[in-house]
Structure 1
């Protein structure tokens, strides 16, 4: 773990009773690459239109029911700000607004929201919208939109002023064949890793009353342990190599199983029918055995306070694929710029794809 301590005077001014060791700037540069660190660099998110994401629900709306579904195009707004606008517009409580996932502020995002409303209530949407909020389409549905209820996200990302377009294209060609590590993106950890600082404070006994911050802390600590396991497998050159004791996860599913490695397992891995998995830590025993169990246990034990916190907060042991295969990956060269398009299953990060093809300054949204 690489980290530095920030200026104590600056960080303790707002939280005078919090020990200085809980104010750290976390570095994530040690996480390894599958295809080697890219030689090229580029500008990323120079303008909102450089990062366009469109949600794909993956299911048909019924056209009736007590939830109004809205496909909103938002520009330079975070998801919470749109929720607050919709709650005020419809005169509803904030908890009556549903969404499937958080989207970057520094972007153009076409995102679905739901608003709980009486089935007999007429809805006038003619005045819905602002300079940064545009209604694209709407319909009714029988269920509220819940977090994670998406099939995928489509990304159109413009990288500007690439120093080596040829090298970047070469990296993209490798990604098509072999995928990328399924790291949680830096957005998960907050500005300079501050969500991990909250995790440290919480795991050391501080009562975090803000539910949003509490959720960020739990999610960030769990994700960090996962990323550390992925990094270690890359360092030990066993990222794509199945080991007896591994746990495999079905492609596009949360279902997992353990089985000795044989020709069938190797073939299913090659066909992307299954993937090697790593733990999302919580209550319960690791499903792995032998060498892999030792690896996962060692890394989890390096964060014993986080382990205990996650268990006490009721999170259960889960698994996640260590490999991410972007779907429909294409690109267009525009001089020294490159427009990259691809689809990712919900819960996966576009920045984890980009970091394998070009070096860029990470944006925190």
Structure 2
């Protein structure tokens, strides 16, 4: 996410440039989606900047958050990839080691238009000696390796560290002021635009699925389910911003423990207010699936109204086995710093897994992506 998310940073990682499942579909399933209506916490930025003019402008490094055992049937590799998406690296590793694709593990998708330092695991016999001297290409560099007892699974990261260079900023002072606000107040935890594919095409697939089309390609199905679920979440966050309910807790809210997937409901009192101020807990919004909304009152009414506008997607998500979950509506970057280089800014921060760097950047500048 990487995030995702936002001119617009559209990742090649989550686009669906795959063969069409059928030759004829209704024209409404090929529309271009607009995401410009999603509200800002700090107001629409005044400044513009160039973004990702070269891969070196966007550097992301994964932080596993756990120690490798040094032994076991999985070889862990920290690989620096340039101008490749995650699946392309998986295919290379499968071929290099003579393994099946399903033997390759990774924790998350990383943007092709970047330099990404990403962990992969390869299931190997414990007694098998491996020669890594020839591992690598012009776009793949091995940084370190070790063994571990478990395969690397999706989401098994503590965080991602980003170093992002914004170039030719038209108002550096305004951008710095916004970064100072973000450091203390955070940003909306929107899913980034790369989640929805090029011009929102993953949502077109969601429409086709929910209309009854039998899509057999598992990758396309995954994109469609993830995109539709994420879109509903973003719509709820947007509605709270529009109604000026974003930065306050309401009776009926469901709170999520910061840094975890655990959540609970409780009326707002002094203790809840203090925990929110200390960032021990955060207000949440739904990731739709099977089950009832756990919110109440005004919050339940808002969430039900927004989700009800996408009843076809709701049914699709339930039919495909997704369960109701919650996600924080606020994103607080850790270790946010910036360095001024003339009219450029090098912005660095850490984000929890599943969160999008472009959700931070969209609150700073109106950025123009030139690299493709």
Query: Does the alignment pair 1:264 with 2:276?
Result: no
User: Which residue matches 1:8?
Assistant: none
Identify the structure with bigger relative contact order (alpha carbons < 8 Å, sequence gap 6+): 2
> Please, what TM-score do these two structures have when normalized by structure 2?
0.94
1:138: how far off? 0.1
Partner of residue 141 from structure 2, selected from 109, 134, 137 = 134
Q: What's the counterpart of residue 186 of structure 1? A: 193
Distance 1:20 1:363, change over 3 A: farther
Matched, 1:172 2:183: no
Q: Distance in 1 between the 2:35 and 2:302 partners?
A: 20
**1:44–1:158 Cα contact (<8 Å) kept:** yes
In the alignment, the residues of structure 1 paired with residue 41 and residue 152 of structure 2 have an alpha-carbon distance, to the nearest angstrom, of 35
Match of 2:58 among 26, 51, 59: 51
Question: Do residues 332 (structure 1) and 339 (structure 2) align?
Answer: yes
1:18-64 per-position Cα deviation (integer Å, ceiling 9, x unaligned):
00010110000000000001100000000000000000000000000
Match in the other structure for 2:229: 222
**Residue matched to 1:101:** 108
Q: Distance in 2 between matches of 1:131 and 1:228?
A: 41
Match of 1:158 in 2: 165
Distance 1:128 1:225 in 2: 42
Cα distance per residue 1:254-304 (max 9 Å; x no partner): 000011111111111111000000000000000000000000001111000
Counterparts of 1:76 and 1:294 in 2: how far apart (Å)?
45
Matching of residues 204-219 of structure 1 within 5 Å:
204-219=211-226
Q: Provide TM-score, normalisation by structure 1.
A: 0.95
On the 8 A contact 2:104/2:122 being kept in 1, the answer is yes
How much does 1:231 deviate?
0.1
Is the contact made by 1:186 and 1:364 (CA closer than 8 Å) also made in structure 2? no
Whether contact under 8 Å (2:54, 2:371) holds in the other structure is no
8 Å Cα contact 2:215-2:221 kept in structure 1: yes
TM superposition shift of 1:251: 0.3
Q: Distance in 2 between matches of 1:153 and 1:231?
A: 25
Structure 1: runs of 5+ lacking an equivalent: 1-12
The answer to whether 1:72 aligns with 2:79 is yes
User: Secondary structure, in 3 states, of the residue corresponding to 1:233?
Assistant: helix
User: Is the contact made by 2:50 and 2:370 (CA closer than 8 Å) also made in structure 1?
Assistant: no
- Residues 10-21 of structure 1 mapped to structure 2, 5 A cutoff: 16-21=23-28
1:162-211 CA-to-partner distances (Å, cap 9, x unmatched) read: 00000000000000110000000000000000000000000000001000
Instruction: Indicate whether 1:307 and 2:314 are aligned.
Output: yes
User: Residues 331-362 of structure 1: CA distance to partner in whole angstroms, max 9, x if unpaired?
Assistant: 00001100000000000000000000111136
Q: How many Å separate the matches in 1 of 2:370 and 2:288?
A: 27
Q: Which residue of 2 aligns with 1:82?
A: 89
Contact 2:52 2:369 in 1 (8 A): no
SS of structure 2 residue aligned to 1:339: strand
Alpha-carbon distance in structure 2 between the residues aligned to 1:146 and 1:26? 31
Q: Secondary structure at the match of 1:316?
A: coil
SS of equivalent residue, structure 1 residue 224: helix
Query: How many residues end up aligned between the 2 structures?
Result: 353
Deviations 1:115-139 (A, max 9, x none): 0000000010000000000000000
DSSP 3-state at the match of 1:43: strand
SS in 2 for 1:115: strand
1:5 matched residue in structure 2:
none
**Partners in 1 of 2:267 and 2:184 — Cα distance?**
25
Give the unaligned 5+ runs of structure 2: 1-19
CA gap of 1:128–1:145, structure 2 versus 1, over 3 A, is: same
1:292 to 273, 296, 299: 299
Partner Cα separation in structure 2 for residue 221 and residue 34 of structure 1: 23
Deviation (angstroms), 1:16: 3.9
